[in-house]
């Protein structure tokens, strides 16, 4: 019964989504508001329908209805309730349903929250968001249904079909295959949904942008809604990237958190263009410039989201995380192509008609605008480099006939200077003014932060750091960080004349959320940057086979191998656990239990190496159990990493989240009033009024 309910609700949602597209289009074209309202109601209805469909699948997972192929392939009887629920996104078909549900949640959110304020854009927002949802629902219903079931034919063959084929009877397996072992980790439970939230979130800004393009309603109003939704998507993308890194660090067992893998890059690409947009959109808000470009960035971010989904799920780029080759490749490609051609076509059309022209011109070579434009250039350069790094294998395979891999050596050497440039801009931009800044003014403003950065480099030199690249990197990150701290300090100091320091700080952040939230994000990025620099350049590793009681030393830590033990967990995994003692000098600081889990029932990836790690501010002592003497268990092989400053990556991530929350906190009213006032007052002199 549940299955039928799931099928019916998904199909209904599909029909309603496409009805909303057509009704919205018709209503917008003929200016009949009744149709627009009808389209809205249809769009809103997809949410309860998809909620029911998702719940139907989740309940089937909990009940262990293994006749459903998806339930069979992602759960098993012995699995914890928690993993039975999260199996919803443990495989292709279920995660597509989950994607659709999130998409409809976001669409409903946009329709409810922005209905009045962006009334003119709404018909087309419905059209474009529902077209995207409708497409994913086509995949769900026709290509990869999570409700497909096993049926047995008269001659004993088992077939998979959504509806019972004639002459068959249900085939119900005893037990399921269970979730992919790599996904049985709390990080992996949160990571995909946050990443999907980021992906799906990017659809809403795109829908607004497309609505603006389609309706010709290109005043700055679309940018308001878009900016906020982009910030939401950006928050989730950032969170997804950081959690993904944490998951890799804990579970993939290679001592790192970022491997420039095509799937990681697929999530990084829209993050990069989204970040560029969040900066350049300010120029449009302040100066009415860069309209063509901002529109392009929103469209590119959306296309990159769809491209990332397409390429990682269709098997055209191979990766650790890839879903196996699947039938959704061709339909996804069709959607990608349509979305790209329609978006870019509309954008070029409006551009050619001159409807996206700047209202202002650059006033000074050195200004907030010019620095933001440079910032955008650097972000785009990184985007191109990362894009090429991920997709070059396709080009070389097609045109030269040789498949290549571009790995960390490529990405690190190409992106490092660009990230360095970003740190410089991050230091300069907050000190610059809109319009025009003189060099001497900038020089005076950056004097103290600059001296502090020089001081930092000097201290590092004194402490014996001789790596030129590292010194430069720390210096630049330090400069950006000091500027941000200095700016915050100055803000607090100005207020502190009237009130206590703590109150001053609280109010400063509370009253200027966008500015100081942005500064917090900058600080977060600086902290992440320092963590990345430290753990990339100064990572140490060694591998040794130790007999019981033997030790190895790395950095200031000594590790003694105590013994090996075996255990079996409730989900059937066999764990081989090494007990090791970690000494800092002669002081016992930790007993670590690095382990290898073996999943006897799992299909392919059946072992998982879980590190034991002793974490301090300074570094992580990260131990992997690589191999052991099967019979005597007398000796075991360990791979040990010393990852300096790696914890700053996570802490910087938290700071970044906090900053985004501050910046996105709804206090849009005053902001909106100011912009409107300014435009109404003709402050920037729209020539149409002069």
Nearer to other proteins, 48 or 330 (CB): 330
Least distance (Å) from other proteins to the CB of residue 10? 26
**For other proteins, which residue of 167, 464, 666, 687 counts as binding (CB under 8 A)?**
687
Binding status of residue 330 toward other proteins by CB under 8 A: yes
Token code pair at residue 91: 């495989």
For the chain, state the CA radius of gyration.
27
DSSP per-residue string spanning 458-504: HHHHHTT---HHHHHHHHHHHHHHHHHHHHHHHHHHHHHTTS-HHHH
- Contacting residue, 67, 186, 254, 555, with other proteins by CB under 8 A: 254
Tell me the C-alpha distance between 100 and 542, whole Å. 46
Residue 212 CA: distances (Å) to CA of 120, 296, 320? 9, 13, 39
Using CB under 8 A, pick the residue from 255, 308, 531, 612 that binds other proteins: 255
Beta-ladder partners of 566: 576
- The binder of other proteins chosen from 41, 153, 358, 601 (CB under 8 A): 358
Contact status, residue 215 vs residue 208, Cβ threshold 8 Å: no
Chain residues 266-295 in contact with other proteins, contact rule CB under 8 A: 286, 288
List the interface residues with other proteins, window 413-432 (CB under 8 A): 414, 418
List 108, 133, 223, 336, residue binding other proteins (CB under 8 A): 336
Which region among 97-105, 192-200, 233-241, 680-688 touches other proteins (by CB under 8 A)?
A: 680-688
Q: Between residues 495 and 595, which has the closer beta carbon with respect to other proteins?
A: 495
Give backbone dihedrals phi and psi of 434, rounded to 5 degrees, phi first: -65, 150
DSSP state letters, 320-365: TTPPPS-TTHHHHHHHHHHHHHHHHHHHHHHHHTTTT--SS----S
Least distance from C-beta 175 to other proteins, angstroms?
24
C-alpha–C-alpha distance, residues 483 and 686, integer Å: 35
What is the 8-class DSSP label of residue 120? T
- Whichever of 177 and 436 has its CB closer to other proteins, that residue is 436
Residues 233-252 that bind other proteins (CB under 8 A): 252
User: In the set 353, 444, 566, 672, which binds other proteins (CB under 8 A)?
Assistant: 353
Handedness of CA 48, 299, 282, 211 (dihedral sign): negative
Work out whether 544 is an interface residue with other proteins (CB under 8 A). yes
**Mask for 39-78, x = binds other proteins (CB under 8 A):** ----------------------------------------
Establish if 105 lies at the interface with other proteins (CB under 8 A). no
329 binds other proteins per the rule CB under 8 A:
yes
Contact between residue 100 and residue 50 where contact means Cβ atoms under 8 Å apart: yes
Q: Decide: is 669 part of the binding site for other proteins (CB under 8 A).
A: no
Give the Cα separation of 426 and 268 in Å (integer).
19
Going by their DSSP bridges, the two strands 540-547 and 158-161 should be labelled as: unpaired
Applying CB under 8 A, which part among 84-92, 131-139, 363-371, 649-657 lies near other proteins? 363-371
Residues 555-614 that bind other proteins (CB under 8 A): 607, 609
Give, rounded to a whole angstrom, the gap between the first and last alpha carbons of the chain: 68
Out of 41, 105, 153, 545, the only residue in the binding site for other proteins (CB under 8 A) is: 545
| Structure tokens given for 409 | 């050596």
Q: Which stretch binds other proteins (CB under 8 A): 7-15, 132-140, 371-379, 610-618?
A: 371-379
Q: How do strand 595-598 and strand 574-584 relate by DSSP bridges? A: antiparallel
Among 67, 153, 168, 319, binds other proteins (CB under 8 A): 319
Shortest Å distance, C-beta 552 to other proteins = 11
> Between 84 and 522, whose beta carbon lies closer to other proteins?
522
- The closest alpha carbon to 623, from 634, 633, 611, 615, belongs to 611
CB of 82 to other proteins, least distance (A): 26
432-451: which residues touch other proteins (CB under 8 A)?
433-437
Q: Is the dihedral of CA 127, 276, 313, 240 positive or negative?
A: negative
Kindly state whether residue 313 participates in binding other proteins, applying the rule CB under 8 A.
no
**Residue keyed to tokens 């928690």:** 82
The residue (of 56 and 625) whose beta carbon lies closer to other proteins is 625
Q: Does 119 bind other proteins (CB under 8 A)?
A: yes
Nearer to other proteins, 344 or 485 (CB): 344
Q: Give the rounded distance of the alpha carbon of 274 from its chain centre.
A: 10
Q: Does 551 participate in binding other proteins (rule CB under 8 A)?
A: no
Does 404 sit near other proteins (CB under 8 A)? yes
162 binds other proteins (CB under 8 A): no
Which of these segments, 93-101, 451-459, 536-544, 584-592, binds other proteins (CB under 8 A)?
Answer: 536-544
Pick the closer one to other proteins by CB: 52 or 476.
476
Q: Which of 1, 400, 468, 681 binds other proteins (CB under 8 A)?
A: 400
CA geometry: angle at 370 spanning 368 and 372, to 5°?
65
Footprint (CB under 8 A) of other proteins, residues 377-396: 377-378, 380-381, 384-385, 388-389, 392-396
173, 315, 555, 572: which one binds other proteins (CB under 8 A): 315
Question: Residues 152, 153, 220, 671: which binds other proteins (CB under 8 A)?
Answer: 220
Structure tokens of 343?
């978006």
Cα torsion 426, 473, 384, 328 to 10°: value is -100
Q: Is residue 502 close enough to count as binding other proteins by CB under 8 A?
A: no
Residues 4, 80, 157, 397: which binds other proteins (CB under 8 A)?
397
Residues 224, 368, 522, 573: which binds other proteins (CB under 8 A)? 368
Q: Mind giving me the DSSP string for 622-685?
A: EEEEEEE-TTT--EEEEEEEEEETTHHHHHHHHHHHHHHHHHHSS-HHHHHHHHHHHHHTTTT-
- Measured CA to CA, the distance from residue 347 to residue 213 in angstroms comes to 7
């Amino acid at each position: 019964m549940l299955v039928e309910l799931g099928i019916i609700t998904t199909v209904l949602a599909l029909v309603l989504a496409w009805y909303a597209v057509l009704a919205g289009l018709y209503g917008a074209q003929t200016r009949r508001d009744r149709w627009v309202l009808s389209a809205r109601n249809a769009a809103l209805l997809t949410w309860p329908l998809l909620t029911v469909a998702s719940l139907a699948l989740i309940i089937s997972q909990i009940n262990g209805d293994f006749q459903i192929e998806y339930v069979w392939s992602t759960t098993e009887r012995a699995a914890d309730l928690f993993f039975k629920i999260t199996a919803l996104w443990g495989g292709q078909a279920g995660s597509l349903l989950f994607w659709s549900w999130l998409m409809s949640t976001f669409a409903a959110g946009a329709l409810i929250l922005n209905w009045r304020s962006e009334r003119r854009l709404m018909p087309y927002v419905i059209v474009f968001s529902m077209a995207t949802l409708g497409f994913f629902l086509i995949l769900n219903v026709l290509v990869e249904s999570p409700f497909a079931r096993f049926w047995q034919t008269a001659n004993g063959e088992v077939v998979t079909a959504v509806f019972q084929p004639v002459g068959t009877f249900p085939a119900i397996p005893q037990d399921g295959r269970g979730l992919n072992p790599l996904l049985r980790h709390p990080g992996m439970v949160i990571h995909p949904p946050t990443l999907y939230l980021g992906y799906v979130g990017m659809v809403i800004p795109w829908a607004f942008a497309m609505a603006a393009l389609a309706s010709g309603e290109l005043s700055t109003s679309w940018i308001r809604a878009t900016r906020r939704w982009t910030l939401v998507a950006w928050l989730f993308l950032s969170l997804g990237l950081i959690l993904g890194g944490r998951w890799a660090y804990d579970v993939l067992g290679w001592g790192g958190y970022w491997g420039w893998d095509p799937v990681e890059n697929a999530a990084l690409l829209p993050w990069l263009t989204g970040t560029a947009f969040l900066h350049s959109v300010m120029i449009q808000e302040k100066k009415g410039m860069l309209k063509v470009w901002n529109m392009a960035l929103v469209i590119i971010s959306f296309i990159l989201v769809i491209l990332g989904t397409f390429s990682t799920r269709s098997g055209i780029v191979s990766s650790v995380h890839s879903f196996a080759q699947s039938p959704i490749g061709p339909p996804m490609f069709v959607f990608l192509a349509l979305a790209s051609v329609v978006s870019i076509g509309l954008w070029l059309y409006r551009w050619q008609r001159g409807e996206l022209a700047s209202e202002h011109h650059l006033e000074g070579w050195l200004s907030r605008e010019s620095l933001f434009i440079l910032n955008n250039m650097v972000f785009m350069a990184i985007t191109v480099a990362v894009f090429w790094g991920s997709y070059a294998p396709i080009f070389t395979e097609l045109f030269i006939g040789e498949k290549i891999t571009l790995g960390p050596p490529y990405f690190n050497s190409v992106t490092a200077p660009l990230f360095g440039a970003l740190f410089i801009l991050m230091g300069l931009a907050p000190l610059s003014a809109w319009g025009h800044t003189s060099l001497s003014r900038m020089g005076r403003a950056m004097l103290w932060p600059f001296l502090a950065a020089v001081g930092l480099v000097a201290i590092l030199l004194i402490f014996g750091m001789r790596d030129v690249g590292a010194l430069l990197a720390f210096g630049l990150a330090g400069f950006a960080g000091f500027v941000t701290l200095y700016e915050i300090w100055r803000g607090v100091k100005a207020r502190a004349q009237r009130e206590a320091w703590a109150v001053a700080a609280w109010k400063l952040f509370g009253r200027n959320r966008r500015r100081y939230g942005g500064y917090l994000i900058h600080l977060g990025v600086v902290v992440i940057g320092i963590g990345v620099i430290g753990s990339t350049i100064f990572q140490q590793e060694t591998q040794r086979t130790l007999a019981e009681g033997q030790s190895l030393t790395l950095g200031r830590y000594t590790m003694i191998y105590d013994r090996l033990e075996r255990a079996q967990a409730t989900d059937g995994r066999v764990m081989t656990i090494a007990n090791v003692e970690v000494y800092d000098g002669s002081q016992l600081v930790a007993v670590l239990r690095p382990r290898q889990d073996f999943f006897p029932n799992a299909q392919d990836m059946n072992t998982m190496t879980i590190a034991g790690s002793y974490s301090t501010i300074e570094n992580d002592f990260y131990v992997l159990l690589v191999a052991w003497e099967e019979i005597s268990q007398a000796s075991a092989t360990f791979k040990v990493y010393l990852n300096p400053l790696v914890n700053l990556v996570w802490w910087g991530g938290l700071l970044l989240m906090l900053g985004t929350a501050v910046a996105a906190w709804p206090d849009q009213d005053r902001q909106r009033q100011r912009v409107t006032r300014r435009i109404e007052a003709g402050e920037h002199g729209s020539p149409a009024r002069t």
